[in-house]
Amino acid sequence: MEYALWLMQVAGIYISNPLIQNIPPVSVQHRTEAVRLLSFMGSRETIPFLTNLFHRDPHSPVKAAAAQAIGRIGVDPEGIAIRAFMNAVFPPSPMTDEVVLTAIAESAGAISRFSGPPLSETGIRILAALSTPDRHPQTRRQALIEIRSF
Give dist(CA 138, CA 136) in Å, integer: 6
Indicate the pTM of the whole model.
0.89
Mean pLDDT of the chain: 90
Distance from C-alpha of 25 to C-alpha of 43, rounded to nearest angstrom: 27
- Is it true that the peptide bond before 118 is cis, omega within 30 degrees of 0? yes
Domains assigned to the chain: 2-15+25-148 (1.25.10.10)
Top pLDDT among 112 and 18 is at: 112
Q: What is the pLDDT of residues 45-98, one digit of tens each?
A: 999 999 999 999 999 999 999 999 999 999 998 999 999 999 999 999 899 999
